[in-house]
Structure 1
Amino acid sequence: MAVIDLHQAAGDERSLSAAFVDSVLPDLLVHYGLERGTVLEQAGIDPAVFQDPGRLLPLLDVMRLFLVILDACGDPGLGFEVGRRVRPRSYQVLGYVILASRDLDEAIARLMRFEKLSGNLGRTERHDSDTEVRLEWHCPVEGEPARFVREAAITGWVTFMRPLMPADAAPLEVCFRHPAPPDAARYQAALGAPVRFAADFDGVRLAPELLAAPLRSADPGLGRMMEREARVLLADFDAHGNLVSRARAALYRRLSAGEPSIEGVAADLGLAPRTLQDRLRRQGQPYQEVLDGLRRSLADIYLRDPALSLTEIALLLGFSESSAFSRAFRRWRGTSPVAWRRRRSPT
């Protein structure tokens, strides 16, 4: 487990939709011969989060889940395998508004406009010239896990769009900034386009004439309807943001100073305490649940670090003493932090 990278993700407000994760996870686990319940338990993910298709998973939880899978499979192409399993339903409204687009040009415009709806994880930029259209994806994750996030996003783009295009339509090149993996040949075979590693950007290069290619799934009526729905969802997202992730980030910044109060977190977010509590409840995650969820996630990370004592972990989580942490951990996991750490320590 890359403890330091996960630790940095704890205070990040970015997120990914639970619907995306749930759409790729079943086939991915079958591919690697893993059991869903075991993986979710090891990642500390409550299966109930997938019952709400509108739920957004904080970046910390997404990274923990896929790093658990990486620990089990050891496949450097994990992100690529995630992207290969993307389907229109993976992106929900964003996917269907793209699906109904007139042509690739309109699909790209809608992707960039409504990208936040898939979870506000990364950002796409478009650069046009006489010879090519370049779509660049800016990844928020640094360090070794970044390659998996980049490959999942960009492979997902190509996997999603290729069946909608004419049979002979393909990107000029699919580009990744990280070095090539040992089995790079599988990338080109699956994506049907040249793949360049150690490139100067993450994304795809397209021929300008490809933009006018009509999509096989084009449906102007459905497109207009889905775009109206996407505009409403985007306005709500811009007005309130992913409040749960913002609250988690504010809580993370306050944890090491002791038990974080809702008054302090609300002040950090520019809200009245009652307003914050009401909005979190409307999103299905009351304040205490958000705090417990963050502490639970961080506890799993800290317990993997043998350099941290239980007392140090308790203080990092905002508990006044290790006994309070132990009681809370038993409530979350049904076992003691010592036993949890022992089960997950390398033999």
Structure 2
Amino acid sequence: MRETDSVAAYYLRVMTHALQSRPARLAALLTEVGIDPALLEQPRARVPGSAFAALWLMQIRELHDEFFQLDSHGLPPGAFALICRGLIQEPNLEKALRQCLNNFGLFLRDLRASLSVRGKRAVISLQSQGADPLRAHYAEETLLVLVISLLCWLGGRRIPIDRAEFRHARLSLDDDALLWGGNLSWNAGRTEIEFASRLLRLPVVQDLASLKVFLRSAPQWLVIRFRNQHGLTTQVHQRLRGSHYSQWPTLEAFASELQMSPSTLRRRLEREGGSYQEIKDEVRRNVAVDLLRRSSASIGEIAELTGFQEPSAFHRAFKKWIGESPGRYRARFSPVGPG
């Protein structure tokens, strides 16, 4: 945990939705943890991670619910720890994820999550019900953040998301891509996320000893860890996105830019749940997705911009990443774009 850890103020709205009808109490809680209540109206502003974590714990005590009353039943205090204890007994991430979704389903009444594996793709789908669309919107996002963050912790690494779709609309945030990947759609009519099914074969690397340490700061710091805008992973993302693929530095060169040793860079990235090569692959995929969705560049040009010598190699890689060809993917977003 570093002083630079932060999250978007948007998540204050999510966490405090149940107190919107009690503005005086809400303002008092925010002030107590050092957050200006005016930030509720500035969703893109940044909130210090320490204040966010303190508010998270305070909200649980205030509402007697670890899910912030975003569900008609919710999570009673202690439920999150109980769920985690069951997961570390599983041999791999697939069994742990299925158990995780089942365990949340034992408590939450308005949300149902399911995992389907379709060849090389794994998809988590959510179904929600309830009279308050905004609460359902917040509940879906919160549950998926918790599930994916837990999956990252269990596997000891970031799990790159290849596709994320949410049924509701919301504003875009600077750190959305870090959590949800570049292939992100709001107001999509359904809520599901997709990633490579091979990741489900990874072993669960946590045990009872690491769980005890983890629960001292989870889930409030777990969530921050995997969407921290100021972490080293984000610095690597920004450095790579800001230059042409041919100019991407080696790990050794990037470590030199940061005035640290290559071993320190590797170790710090591992602590944030990833590796330099994994981030390079993720950025390469996100650049391709972004260009297909938002530019008029030809597929051949996009192949060159993302480091492929032949368009055919780009086609094969993109289909492996996303599950469909570049042309078919582009047609869903910009049907008039060149092929």
Q: Same fold (TM over 0.5)?
A: no
The answer to which structure has the higher helix fraction is 1
Larger RCO: Structure 1 or Structure 2 (Cα < 8 Å, ≥ 6 residues apart)?
1
Q: What is the TM-score when the length of structure 1 is the normalising length?
A: 0.37
Higher-Rg structure is 1
